């Protein structure tokens, strides 16, 4: 572990984890956390120099394009950010996303979805599905899309994959997952085993986070906990997580279940790093190394995949498999 990671671990434990343990989780605390997150974004999460940022607001779809100087227009990454379904915006992830854009030489669309508790489940997933349809309709001829997400965004991305599979839609070329939260039943043993070792997440507060997000919905449903879905036929996955985080077992079990069902999976556990350490990649060299590896993983799969035959079609006339149409009122389970 680098000295920078040691310092970040100490700072997170003292000023984030211990504060959350003392104050707990509530609607008011969530709003305060959002304000602090916006402040931090101005100082430590600025994008790489030369990155182009373009805001998007198109009907129900919000987000932003992030393009590194070397990004190729026919390589697209659909990125779903984390934040426990309660906090976070694309701006908070600009450094992470801009570095992923540079490493993969791809344009990234970072979707902005509605947050709980004001917008409980399944609002976030519906927004992610809307963003996918919007992106597919604007895919340049010969272009292909890869999928990436961290923490709660990794869970939403996996739920999107399962919905696409159920609808017999063409899937992304690959999926890069960073500490994905894919089990809202909190049944992984690391939730209790790593309570003290995790320098960032206060694991004892996760049940309250789940309550604020689901607000009575079943945490074992496949749209809430995609870990338990049928993973056969999903694209290749690269999963990166920390061995000391409380959500470690979500990554371990996702990798094992996917392998057992025939999916090509690579899993890497980084030692003694905070949950979602890629978010701190400006400060932590391990975060930059992880993003470099994930970018290389995505580039390999773009080279191996043929261009999308549907790219460039008119979305008003192409209704193949029902995958190209939809709106914000799409019912749960539909893409």
Q: 331 lies in a domain?
A: no
Q: Is 150 helix (H, G, I), strand (E, B) or coil?
A: strand
81 noted as active-site residue: no
Q: 328 lies in a domain?
A: no
Domains identified in the chain, total number: 1
Q: 76 - beta bridge partners?
A: 107, 145
Mean pLDDT within 243-267: 98
- Catalytic pick from 275, 286, 301, 324? 275
Single pTM value for the model: 0.90
- Specify whether the CB–CB gap between 79 and 149 falls below 8 A: yes
Q: 332 lies in a domain?
A: no
CA 33 to centroid of chain Cα atoms: 19
pLDDT higher than threshold 90 for residue 6:
yes
Q: 304 is written with which tokens?
A: 């191996």
Closest CA to 106 of 82, 139, 131, 134: 139
- Quickly count: other Cβ atoms within 10 Å of residue 118's Cβ: 12
Taking the C-alpha atoms of residue 334 and residue 5, their distance in angstroms, rounded to an integer, is: 41
Q: What's the pLDDT at 18? A: 82
Q: 324 lies in a domain?
A: no
Q: What's the pLDDT at 321? A: 36
Tell me the pLDDT tens digit for each residue of 16-59.
888 777 766 765 566 556 555 554 555 567 899 999 999 999 99
Alpha helix (H) residue ranges in 79-225: 94-104, 123-137, 152-166, 190-193, 206-214
Q: 316 lies in a domain?
A: no
Q: What's the pLDDT at 45? A: 76
Q: 314 lies in a domain?
A: no
Tell me the pLDDT tens digit for each residue of 188-198.
999 999 999 99
Tell me the pLDDT tens digit for each residue of 277-327.
999 999 999 999 999 999 999 999 987 665 554 444 444 333 333 354 433
Checking 257-263 for CB contacts under 8 A at 24+ apart, the result is 257/227, 257/231, 258/231, 258/234, 261/230, 261/231, 261/232, 262/232, 262/233, 263/231, 263/232, 263/233, 263/234, 263/235, 263/236, 263/237
Q: 319 lies in a domain?
A: no
245 noted as active-site residue: yes
Sole residue written with tokens 């003392």: 22
Portion of the chain with pLDDT greater than 70, in percent: 84
Q: What's the pLDDT at 292? A: 98
Q: What's the pLDDT at 33? A: 65
Torsion of CA 117, 120, 126, 128, to 10 degrees: 30
Q: What's the pLDDT at 142? A: 85
- Catalytic pick from 33, 98, 110, 151? 151
Domain of 153 in residue numbering reads as 3-305
Residues near 11 by beta carbon (within 8 Å), at least 6 away in sequence: none
Portion of the chain with pLDDT greater than 90, in percent: 75
Q: 269 is written with which tokens?
A: 């556990």
Taking the C-alpha atoms of residue 141 and residue 187, their distance in angstroms, rounded to an integer, is: 43
Tell me the pLDDT tens digit for each residue of 149-167.
999 999 999 999 999 999 9
C-alpha gyration radius of the chain: 18
Q: Helix 285-304 vs helix 3-12: angle between axes, to the nearest 10 degrees?
A: 110
Q: What's the pLDDT at 154? A: 98
Q: 72 lies in a domain?
A: yes
275 noted as active-site residue: yes
Here the CATH number for the domain that contains residue 210 is 3.40.50.1820
Closest CA to 305 of 194, 146, 72: 146
Confidence of residue 216 (pLDDT cuts 50, 70, 90): very high
pLDDT higher than threshold 50 for residue 13:
yes
- Specify whether the CB–CB gap between 246 and 275 falls below 8 A: yes
CA 244 to centroid of chain Cα atoms: 20
- Catalytic pick from 64, 103, 245, 324? 245
pLDDT higher than threshold 90 for residue 4:
yes
């Amino acid at each position: 572990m680098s000295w920078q990671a040691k310092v970040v671990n100490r700072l997170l434990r003292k000023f984030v984890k211990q504060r959350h343990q003392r104050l707990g989780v509530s609607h008011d605390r969530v709003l305060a956390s959002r304000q602090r997150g916006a402040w931090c974004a101005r100082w430590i999460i600025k994008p790489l120099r030369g990155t182009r940022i373009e805001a998007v607001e198109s009907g129900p779809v919000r987000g932003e394009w992030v393009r590194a100087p070397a990004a190729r227009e026919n390589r697209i990454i659909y990125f779903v950010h984390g934040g426990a379904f309660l906090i976070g915006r694309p701006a908070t992830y600009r450094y992470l996303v801009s570095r992923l854009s540079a490493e993969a030489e791809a344009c990234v669309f970072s979707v902005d979805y509605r947050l709980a508790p004001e917008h409980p489940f399944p609002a976030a997933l519906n927004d992610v599905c809307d963003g996918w349809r919007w992106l597919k309709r604007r895919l340049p001829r010969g272009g292909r899309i890869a999928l990436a997400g961290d923490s709660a965004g990794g869970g939403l991305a996996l739920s999107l994959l399962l919905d696409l599979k159920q609808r017999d839609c063409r899937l992304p070329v690959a999926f890069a997952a960073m500490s994905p939260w894919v089990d809202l039943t909190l049944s992984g043993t690391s939730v209790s085993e790593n309570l003290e070792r995790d320098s960032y997440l206060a694991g004892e507060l996760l049940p309250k986070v789940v309550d604020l997000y689901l607000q009575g919905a079943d945490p074992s449903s496949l749209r809430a906990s995609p870990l338990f879905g049928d993973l056969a036929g999903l694209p290749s996955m690269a999963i990166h997580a920390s061995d000391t985080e409380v959500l470690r077992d979500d990554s371990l079990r996702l990798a094992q279940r996917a392998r057992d069902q025939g999916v090509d999976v690579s899993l890497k556990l980084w030692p003694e790093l905070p949950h979602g350490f890629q978010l701190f990649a400006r400060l932590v060299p391990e975060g930059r190394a992880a993003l470099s590896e994930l970018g290389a993983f995505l580039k390999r799969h773009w080279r191996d995949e043929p261009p999308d035959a549907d790219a460039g079609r008119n979305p008003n006339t192409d209704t193949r498999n029902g995958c190209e149409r939809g709106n914000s009122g799409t019912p749960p389970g539909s893409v």
